[in-house]
Every structure is written in structure tokens, then in C-alpha cells.
Amino acid sequence: MKPATREWVKKAENDFETALALMRRKKVLAESVCFHCQQCAEKYIKARLEEAGRHVPRTHDCEALLNDLLPLEPLWAPWKKTLARLSDYAVRLRYPGISATKAEARRAVRDARAVRREVRLSLGLH
């Protein structure tokens, strides 16, 4: 595995662990959980792009990143809706008047876990 890919994976894992830790709190920090789940998915997709020698764009749009990856991983096309939902958490929750629920945080963790699992398998990680 390329060193840059390893760095993306490490950063993605840090975000995943942060999201899980925030979910375990007595007072769940739903917005932060959702943000870190988005970051986890984004960084894992970027890791896969990096490993494939593809350009890794500076974007938080997970759906756009997936579109760049689909020629290599066509079976990941069903993730579009999931990644579009996660992408909303990169920016939208940073503004007043917009918040996330505990249910949304739980779903974000499930979504990030699914993306994480598939990308790790694709990279030969277990």
C-alpha cells in the first residue's frame, strides 16, 4: 500500500473512532458524530482513489468522489444516496438553526461503517 494511502486510512480511522466515542457519551453529540462519519467516508474514498493512482480532489462531496471511483468500483454505485446524505454533514451542520438528531447520528455511524468496511476490503485491509 502506498504511504499516502496509509495516511488517508489513518485519518479516516481517527474520524471513525472519534464518531464512535462521541456516540458512547451520556449526552450524544449528534452533530459532531455526523460530521466525523462524513469525514471518515470521505477519507476512505480518497484512500481508494490514492491507491489507484487517481487524482484526489479537494472536496467534501462524497458523491462526487464516488463518481471518480466508479470506473474502478462499479459495484459501489448503490452508495450514491448514502454518500449524498453523508456529504450534507460536511458543511450544513456548521450553521445555526440546523442540527442533527440522535437517530441521524446512529444512521451516519451505520453508513460510515459500511463505507469503511467496503473500502478496507478493497484495499486488502481487514
- Topology of domain 3-122 in CATH is Four Helix Bundle (Hemerythrin (Met), subunit A) (1.20.120)
Residue 38: predicted pLDDT? 98
pLDDT at 91 > cutoff 90: no
Residue given cell 454518500 in the structure block: 83
Residue 101: predicted pLDDT? 95
Residue 68: predicted pLDDT? 96
Residue 20: predicted pLDDT? 98
Other CB atoms within a 10 A radius of the CB of residue 55 amount to 7
Q: What is the pLDDT of residues 26-52, one digit of tens each?
A: 999 999 999 999 999 999 999 999 999
Euclidean distance between CA atoms 37 and 77, whole angstroms: 19
DSSP 46-105: HHHHHHTT----S---HHHHHHHHTTT-GGGGGGHHHHHHHHHHHHGGGSTT----HHHH
Residue pair 86/63 in contact (Cβ under 8 Å)? The answer is no
